[in-house]
Amino acid sequence: MNRDRRVVITGIGTLAPNGSTTETYWHSLINGRTGIGRIERFDTSDFRVQIGAEVKDFDPELYGMDRKFVRRADLFTQYTIATAFMAVADAGIDQEGVVDPERLGVVYGSGIGGISTFETQHTALMKGGPRKISPFFIPMMIADMTSGQASIRFGAKGPNYTTVTACASGSHAIGNAAREIWDDEADVMITGGAEAAITPMSLGGFAALHALSTRNDEPERASRPFDAERDGFVLGEGSGTLILEELEHAKARGARIYGEVVGAGYTGDAHHITDMAPGGEGGARALRRAMKQGGIESNDIDYVNAHGTSTPVGDKNESAAIRSVLGDHAKNVAVSSTKSMTGHLLGASGAIESIACILAVYKDIIPPTINYENPDPKCDLDYVPNEAREATVNVAVNNSFGFGGHNAVLIIRKYSESN
């Protein structure tokens, strides 16, 4: 890894339940506005859980997708193209000749992939037999179509792949994209995560696990990370895209720089298919690895965007992990979960939460954890309750932990020429 090659963020695109652009998403976060409500996409009257965080008023044609493309692309792929369209424009790399196509790569993450397509095509099979299955079923369903379609759309001929690590997928994708630049395999990477898993089968499956909140009568209060009355996460959807760029390449074209990726730490729990290791031990090791890679000390960290799903066990273990790594400094660090406003976007969560970290660093504002009303003695950190906070944020951490024991931690630092 060539750490003489620095990786900066030069473009952002966001499609979230509480904001269909980066600007509206950020405005919602710092004003404590949720995107959680009763599910409208299908009839939930027979479901234990009837709430979710759906993307509102999505129109793929606004992002250059024609009707033919839409018919042949699952919703999670459409979300990918939408945020990539925004990020590429934001970075100013949408003009021919700005980036060598062979030095432009794509890495996305998706934990579930095209489950909507799978359900639709299974229904077609059951009703009409195998001849009714669409020839586009497989290329619509497979998770790698996030990166595949983005590569085709933007002419990226460099590294091109998709990470599938459940709820750590988006963060793994961003960390891997940074490594492609550090390793001199690319100069610019389009990266992030996408998920569109609010479907009957997905909702029913997560409900069967007893992983979801059942606050059907008050959905806006259902996601309450670190609160003593939390009862599960809320299923969300959307996408986030970052443009990562080698610093000298960005400077040569006069790009705006939002911040710098300095660390990416990965570990495995080797413990359980759904539960975190006791005390968040695996997440703690991932944080230590990211800090070592970035040359970051505990006292350097100003903000942690927590995985913070609003589950009883997960939030407690994550809090313990942060304490174990940061020691006495943990009480001075602002820790918030923006999932309180977006729900849990599964494989896309690390992407939109990395965007929250980047903007916290860029704007020196920390988004809150809303619905924090009843302190839990086992969660005893500063969770930035209910209101955003203006504060200098030089270093921010994004935690992402996935079913299967996958842990990914990213560290974003305020850009300075002298770093």
Q: Is the pLDDT of residue 36 over 80?
A: yes
Q: Is the pLDDT of residue 381 over 80?
A: yes
For 263, 266, 331, 359, 371, the CA distances from 235, given in Å and listed in that order, are 28, 24, 30, 24, 17
Residue 350: which of 379, 307, 389, 287 has the closest Cα? 307
Asked if domains 7-252 and 262-413 share a fold, the reply is yes
CA–CA distance, 325 with 312 (Å, rounded to integer):
21
Q: What is the mean pLDDT of the chain?
A: 97
- pLDDT tens, position by position, 133-148: 999 999 999 999 999 9
> For domain 7-252, is the CATH number 2.30.40.10?
no
Q: Is the pLDDT of residue 323 over 90?
A: yes
CA–CA distance, 119 with 93 (Å, rounded to integer):
37
Mean pLDDT calculated for residue range 311-321: 97
> For domain 262-413, is the CATH number 3.40.47.10?
yes
Residue spans per domain, the chain: 7-252, 262-413
For 98, 176, 182, 281, 341, the CA distances from 244, given in Å and listed in that order, are 14, 11, 11, 30, 26
Residue 190: which of 226, 154, 232, 145 has the closest Cα? 154
Q: Which residue has the tokens 């690590």?
A: 165
DSSP 366: E
Q: Is the pLDDT of residue 224 over 70?
A: yes
Q: Is the pLDDT of residue 269 over 90?
A: yes
Q: Is the pLDDT of residue 2 over 70?
A: no
Q: Is the pLDDT of residue 197 over 80?
A: yes
Q: What is the pLDDT of residue 1?
A: 57
Helix orientation angle between 200-208 and 115-128, rounded to the nearest 10 degrees: 110
Active site amino acids: 167, 307, 344
Q: What is the pLDDT of residue 418?
A: 82
Q: Is the pLDDT of residue 24 over 70?
A: yes
- Say what percent of the chain tops pLDDT 90: 98
Q: Is the pLDDT of residue 68 over 90?
A: yes
Q: What is the pLDDT of residue 39?
A: 98
pTM: 0.98
* DSSP sequence for 83-127: HHHHHHHHHT--STTSS-GGGEEEEEE-SS-SHHHHHHHHHHHHH
Residue 306 CB neighbours (<10 A): 30
Q: Is the pLDDT of residue 50 over 60?
A: yes
